[in-house]
Structure 1
């Protein structure tokens, strides 16, 4: 009578052996695996964001090297217009490849390098959303995002090598930490500012840009949009939204709600 073969380890989590990571939290953080097919959708979405990020600069009348630029470090040379435009096109092309999922990891790395390089070229143009994009692209470059919702996966199957969508989850955890910290930091710092909590900051900014309110919002809608009471309600709602997104990402039942709220939240800001 032959002995039964040992059960195969679960695809959701790797098992630690002799000399491997110790059992416990650290081992789980490093060794846990899960189905990562949805990261393919994330790759495509941020590929479109990369294109959106570069396109206004690429189509502008003057590129940044034609005006004042202040690199983060003195030793970092400022490129000429042609080189700068080449980096922009490389970023746009990488974003396009990310959208369709062709050479997904390479495209993510090129997009990361393009965004990061142009970010550190000019300290005067720094913005938190650009820095956040760098972190997201860094995380995507660590993930096997080309195994689903990608031409990479289609081509692999045609070659008879169906790619597994199971992979290590620690890059996802890294992205969750970064994303959550952005929203929670934003919300908590605003909570410490009474002018933010009461809506005065948003109200002042709206009054400064009142001329930019579309004509379609003339009349009573315009009056509401510039009224003090409107922002007294809007500001706490915005803070509650940021707190919900930052905390909701950590719980399975609220994670997709947090993602959906974040998408709507930023579309409303745009």
Structure 2
């Protein structure tokens, strides 16, 4: 433990942290531009009449009127400030608060990469991002430094590595390894469409995806295997960008890959490509001297107490990030079916799920029954997401009951007829239609009204059947 502590506190070149700050900020500016230019701010956060909350965050609501445009514009400015290292100590926490606020507004907008952005933005708050290759250091607003405690770099590596690792663990399940979901996804790109009809090709796609996620990080860290790992990273993410159209995720993961390289290599890139951000041109002698300096003089003003606090934060953060993706094992049933514990677990593009849901109301006083069209309150995207998510169906049922109560009709029962197809299986009932969902509590505990998946593991021959 003493040796591990010394290793984590040892000074290391700050260049990979700077690279991470730079590419993260640029990627966020691009993402904000996409939201503003494609009309997503309006369609996602201004037009809908109802938003699906995360448990415990139903108090988070969009800004009124057109203020969401201002919010996204501010995120773009803050992202640019992060990239440049300008007023970093102000920009980093404000960006994290702003992007996390957007993330929490509507659960139908959940994307693994947006969750990852929130986590990485939080980590940036604690890194010395404005002290090297930054306008803060160049303008004298922050004390320049060449090194940082090694735990900061390993924390970033671990966070990105855990995304890959748990993504690989999630692929070690029967449906994915059968090749059926992979065959469905291969149909989404003209180049790979012929492979969808070949069973061995679909299975190879499934197994190679799991192997990549599980072994890519060790491959990047080991110099001898790094060229092969880099090739795999390029192939994997560029293919995903074509097959899944998942926004910035492939590009963000490609951009942060150099944090696994030797810091000296990353520093050479920074000195070549962004020399105007350097506070001074470091000589070989100064870099050699800084690499031999003690932690106290080379990693900045951290006192032993702050170093201990940093290690405690490092351990606590990694413990949470390792346990949270495993929580779905506490729930009964298959997570891809019930969705209980699915979010925040790095289950990325593992299943093909289609469904429909219809609502019926019953007045408990008069016995009157009537059907409800959810599309009158939801956008097409919201309805599509809800049609496969029992927790969202429950939230919407509660909202319907509240609306009827405000209209002077208390005690209206809400029932849902919900049938879903998982990975090409025939549609099955997912929510017990006989249960009054308005009377069911919204809780993190397992829901007894979710109907379990009934049939046997999927066979590849069923991939071409209509859901």
TM-score, normalising length: structure 2: 0.45
Ranges in structure 1 where 5+ consecutive residues have no aligned partner:
1-21
Asked whether the equivalents of residues 176 and 206 of structure 2 are also in contact (C-alpha less than 8 Å), the reply is yes
Equivalent residues in 2 for 1:24-103, closer than 5 Å: 24-26=3-5, 28-29=7-8, 31-61=9-39, 62-63=42-43, 64-67=45-48, 68-72=50-54, 73-103=57-87
Query: 1:265 maps to what in 2?
Result: 236
Equivalent residues in 2 for 1:246-257, closer than 5 Å: 246-248=217-219
Query: Bigger shift: 109-118 or 78-87?
Result: 78-87
How far, CA to CA, are the matches of 2:96 and 2:234 in structure 1? 22
> Structure 1 residues 261 and 40 mapped into 2: Cα distance closer, same or farther (>3 Å)?
farther
> How many residue pairs get matched?
234
1:202 aligns with 2:174: no
Equivalent residues in 2 for 1:1-270, closer than 5 Å: 23-26=2-5, 28-29=7-8, 31-61=9-39, 62-63=42-43, 64-67=45-48, 68-72=50-54, 73-156=57-140, 163-191=144-172, 193-207=173-187, 210=188, 213=189, 217=190, 221=191, 223-228=193-198, 229-248=200-219, 261-262=232-233, 265-270=236-241
CA RMSD, 1 decimal: 2.9
SS at match of 1:76: coil
Asked whether the equivalents of residues 7 and 150 of structure 2 are also in contact (C-alpha less than 8 Å), the reply is no
Query: Bigger shift: 118-127 or 78-87?
Result: 78-87
Moved over 6 A (4+): none
Ranges in structure 2 where 5+ consecutive residues have no aligned partner:
242-467
Alpha-carbon deviation of 1:165?
A: 1.7
> In the TM superposition, what whole-angstrom CA distance separates every residue of 1:140-174 from its partner, at most 9, and x where no partner exists?
22111233333333323xx9x87112122323222
Alpha-carbon deviation of 1:27?
A: 5.5
Larger radius of gyration: 2
> In the TM superposition, what whole-angstrom CA distance separates every residue of 1:37-82 from its partner, at most 9, and x where no partner exists?
2211111111122123333322233242311322322222332242
TM-score, normalising length: structure 1: 0.73
> In the TM superposition, what whole-angstrom CA distance separates every residue of 1:151-208 from its partner, at most 9, and x where no partner exists?
333323xx9x8711212232322222222222111101211x233224321211343x
**Structure number having the greater strand percentage:** 2
**Structure number having the greater helix percentage:** 1
SS at match of 2:46: helix
Alpha-carbon deviation of 1:261?
A: 4.5
